[in-house]
Structure 1
Amino acid sequence: MSDSDAELKRLRWRCRRGTRELDQLFGWWLDERHAAASAELRRGFAGLLEQQDPEIWDWLLGRGTPTDAGQAAVIDEIRTRHRV
């Protein structure tokens, strides 16, 4: 198993949040955007997975924005694609 395969498996595990909606939104980003994403967006996504679910929901619903530019860009992509 390569380092990138191991990293994807680790990220996929961390995408499991306990709510179907967040699992699906994060899973979509990992499946559809991660491979082509810049290093900044990848770091932002990994950092987003460290945040608490209520804060993530606030960001997804437009009730705030992450201070990290990479995290904010990932939130914007998810909101644009899924009309959260």
Structure 2
Amino acid sequence: MPAVLNPADLGRLKWRCRRGLLENDLFVERFFRRHEADLTLDQVNGLQGLMDLSDNDLLDLLLARKEPEGELDRPEVKQVLALMREPG
């Protein structure tokens, strides 16, 4: 189910995804450039789960130093993480 977000919701989601580490911001910006037009609600939920992490924990996941554990070990989180890890 693509295009679930209206422009205002997409703007809020992008603001929520701003990070303190430049490296994380680069991953997030590339993700939105590639996928914002066809985000699903599951992907939005997965992305929000990732954004609850500290910057260092998020970077470890993005660089594949770690894999999602515990509450983050969900299909929607893994899907978004795989999309974010795609090479530029």
TM-score, scaled relative to structure 2 = 0.73
CA contact (8 A) 1:15 1:27 kept: no
Consecutive unaligned residues of structure 1, counting only runs of 5 or more, are: none
Matched, 1:12 2:14: yes
Please provide the CA RMSD for this pair. 1.8
Offset at residue 5 of structure 1 (A): 1.8
Matched, 1:34 2:36: yes
Q: Which has the higher contact order (CA 8 A, sep 6+)?
A: 2
CA contact (8 A) 2:49 2:77 kept: yes
Offset at residue 27 of structure 1 (A): 1.6
Consecutive unaligned residues of structure 2, counting only runs of 5 or more, are: none
1:33 is matched by which residue type in structure 2?
H
Which of the numbers 30, 35, 48 marks the counterpart of 2:50?
A: 48
> Residue deviations 1:37-81, cap 9 Å, x none?
332112111221122112111112222222122111111112122
Spell out structure 1 runs of 4+ moving beyond 3 A: none
Percent sequence identity over matched residues?
30
User: Between Structure 1 and Structure 2, how many residues are aligned?
Assistant: 80
CA contact (8 A) 2:21 2:55 kept: no
TM-score, scaled relative to structure 1 = 0.76
